[in-house]
Amino acid sequence: MSLLDVADLRVSFATEAGDVRAVDGVSFSVARGEVVALVGESGSGKSTVGLTLMGLTRRLGARITGSAALEGNDLLGASERELQRLRGRLMAMVFQDPMSSLNPVQKVGWQISEQIRAHEPRVSGAQALERAVELMDRAGIPQARSRVRAYPHELSGGMRQRVMLAMALSCEPGLLIADEPTTALDVTTQAQILAQLRELRERTELGMLFITHDLGVVADIADRILVMRAGQLVEQGEADAVLRAPRDPYTQNMLAAYAPRPARSPRTPGGPLLETHELSVAFRGIKALDGVSLTLNEGETLGVVGESGAGKTTLIRCLIRLMDPTGGTVRFRGQDVTHAKRRELRPMRRELQMVFQDASASLNPRRRVEWILASGLRLREVPRAQWRARAADLLERVGLRPEHLERFPHELSGGERQRVGIARALSCDPRALVLDEPVSSLDATVRARVLELLARLQEESGLSYLLVSHDLMIVRGVSDRVAVMRRGRVLETGPTEQLFSAPQHEYTQALLAACPKLPGQVRSAV
């Protein structure tokens, strides 16, 4: 007998721009102890399904039809009062963003025990808190007893996510809806959480609806897969079957995009272009960079990987002199960047451009694409009359159409925005680009296309890239050489294939081991 039955679920939102059909006729079921993965590109309606089952889209003004039953309880027709009884006790949800999903002004222990007491009125406050400690402990939070008194902001992202998990499981629900529970985490933490969920399912027959766009994670945990696109289910089936032999063209595309790119054939690098020597940065005693020496050669791509907080962004900001290092130097074509005066810096700046991690934050939301591109052209003293044509050219180079010139950043998709970001960097006619996680905010299909674009530009104009990422797979596909960073230090550097097949440092080895893999993918090392 299945735990959850959903039939012909349709959800639409009335917005200023008309109705948005977020979910458009979705039917599936989840059995006890089964993990069903819901995958699909951004905006396909995955979260809406989860939220609707929890009854949380009602107050957003959604129109909902179809049926959904959880252990015989009608979820869609239930009154708010009945839903309150079900939420947390029979079904629980873990939300995508653990920082914003916890109340910032309440202690985490209180937040967990609050749920327990809401459903079990006879439990005393102290008992509930005791259970919270236990739950947090089981969720793998070290020193749970003292951490119950912590506020959310005092915990790391991973710990916050585990608190969410502990909270969701506090009343031992039958169904857990997990909305991208690991997206915010680095690979090692992600692996730990996935292991916990697996263990939980074994132990408590927990049924799970696991929402994600990461196929690697799906392969790791799911029994069955549902693929969504534009509000509809385009494919569903056993996990292995879908991953090995996708039938729907969209799924095939997605898988293809995810598949790691073959390592590049090594090329002959030119002379050194950008060098750092013993670069150090300290923030109030914290060493964000601790003696980093790296070299980027002409025409090559240097990948820098490292977990969150490793100092990657700090490194990049020093390279382009958005920040002054506490020690060490940066040289660009032999010239000292670190101590250059503002006037000397200008020509260097043009040649050394940056692509930012968050494409939407790096584009002025109040300016049209044309203006954004023209601002670079103006600095090159291109006559005003040519701006528009040149801007259109640039767009073409990054695979966009001239009509995009008229748009504001918010009118572009994530991938398009990142392309504009690249076009802006190109507008200065640079020799080298430093790229801070240029694709990590994009979903898999778009990501692949942007990486392709970068490769093509490099072919065309011999640019050098310094590409920073926390994702090993990305770095692997595009880099000639790779450097691994941790806690402000470079642990090892080497040609891509060599580093991946024979990592020297044990941290690199751990990092590689933690990477989720699709079935059929051969682990390259360990």
Q: Which ranges of 55-101 does DSSP label H, i.e. alpha helix? A: 80-86
Using CB under 6 A, count the residues that bind ligand ATP.
Answer: 26
Please check whether residue 432 is in contact with residue 355, taking contact to mean a CB–CB distance below 8 angstroms: no
Interacting span for ligand ATP (CB under 6 A) from 216-224, 306-314, 375-383, 502-510: 306-314
486 phi and psi angles, rounded to 5 deg: -155, 135
Interacting span for ligand ATP (CB under 6 A) from 36-44, 140-148, 293-301, 339-347: 36-44
Identify which of 301, 313, 324, 320 has the alpha carbon closest to the alpha carbon of residue 488: 313
Smaller CB separation from ligand ATP, 38 or 166: 38
Can you list the positions of beta strands (E) in 32-116? 35-40, 62-70, 73-74, 91-94
Residue 15 CB burial class (10 angstroms; 0-12, 13-18, ≥19): exposed
Question: Considering only residues 492-511, where is the footprint of another protein by CB under 8 A?
Answer: none
Binding flag, residue 60, ligand ATP (CB under 6 A): yes
What distances in angstroms separate CA 324 from CA 241, 311, 314, 338, one per listed residue?
53, 14, 10, 7
Binding flag, residue 63, another protein (CB under 8 A): no
**How far apart are the C-alpha atoms of 74 and 481, rounded to whole Å?**
56
Binding flag, residue 291, ligand ATP (CB under 6 A): no
Q: Which residues bind Mg ion (CB under 5 A)?
A: 47, 313
| Residues constituting the chain | 526
Q: Which of 241, 361, 502, 525 binds another protein (CB under 8 A)?
A: 361
Binding flag, residue 48, ligand ATP (CB under 6 A): yes
Binding flag, residue 43, ligand ATP (CB under 6 A): yes
Q: Which of 29, 183, 293, 498 binds another protein (CB under 8 A)?
A: 183
Question: Considering only residues 30-59, where is the footprint of another protein by CB under 8 A?
Answer: 42-43, 47-48, 51, 54, 56
Q: Closest distance between another protein and the C-beta of residue 96, in Å?
A: 7
Q: Is the dihedral of CA 376, 381, 382, 385 positive or negative?
A: positive
Q: Closest distance between ligand ATP and the C-beta of residue 385, in Å?
A: 40
Q: Which of 2, 27, 67, 84 binds another protein (CB under 8 A)?
A: 84
Using CB under 8 A, count the residues that bind another protein.
Answer: 85
Q: Closest distance between ligand ATP and the C-beta of residue 212, in Å?
A: 8
Buried b (16+ CB within 10 A) or exposed e, 148-172: bebebeebebbbbbbbbbbbbbbbe
Q: Which of 8, 283, 335, 379 binds ligand ATP (CB under 6 A)?
A: 283
Q: Which of 30, 34, 36, 44 binds ligand ATP (CB under 6 A)?
A: 44
Question: Considering only residues 468-497, where is the footprint of ligand ATP by CB under 6 A?
Answer: 470
Binding flag, residue 199, another protein (CB under 8 A): no
Identify which of 153, 26, 50 has the alpha carbon closest to the alpha carbon of residue 102: 153
Binding flag, residue 55, ligand ATP (CB under 6 A): no
